[in-house]
Amino acid sequence: MLDSLDNKLVEGELSFVDYSEGKVSGIYTKDKVLNDSFPGYSSMKGSFSGKVDIKEKKLFINTNPKIADNNIFIKCDIIKDSLAGKWTFSNMLGIIAKGNFYAKKIKK
């Protein structure tokens, strides 16, 4: 995750655990935290849910599906073995912070 000026905030891993009928879920780690003071960081608890549109090659991730407000959401494009898009942190007042999001498939 990067801020709106492309400064790195957090590096980690997304692990997709379940996929069924366009819905995804999984866990994520925050392996390298470069800035933990950005809005929404404290809401990131390690599990996610989301939706995938294979035809349009789009992915939507909710980084804390246990709460509806004060949350980080990621919208990205699926590009071969990568994800590229934007994250937003929103609450009842709307979008508070945003930035870029990138992920690349790794082999284990």
C-beta separation of 100 from 90 below 8 A: no
How many structural domains are present in the chain? 1
Residue 47: which domain range?
10-104
pLDDT in tens, 32-64: 999 999 999 999 999 999 999 999 999 999 999
Output the domain CATH number for residue 38. Answer: 2.40.128
Q: In angstroms, rounded to a whole number, what is the distance separating the alpha carbons of residues 14 and 106? A: 10
2 in a domain, yes or no?
Answer: no
The pTM for the full model equals 0.92
36: three-class secondary structure by DSSP: coil
3 in a domain, yes or no?
Answer: no
Side-by-side strand order, sheet with 82-91: 10-20, 23-33, 47-53, 58-62, 71-79, 82-91, 94-104
Interval 55-82 mean pLDDT? 94
Q: Among residues of the chain, what percentage have pLDDT more than 90?
A: 89
71 in a domain, yes or no?
Answer: yes
Res 108: pLDDT: 66
Q: In angstroms, rounded to a whole number, what is the distance separating the alpha carbons of residues 40 and 78? A: 24
20 in a domain, yes or no?
Answer: yes
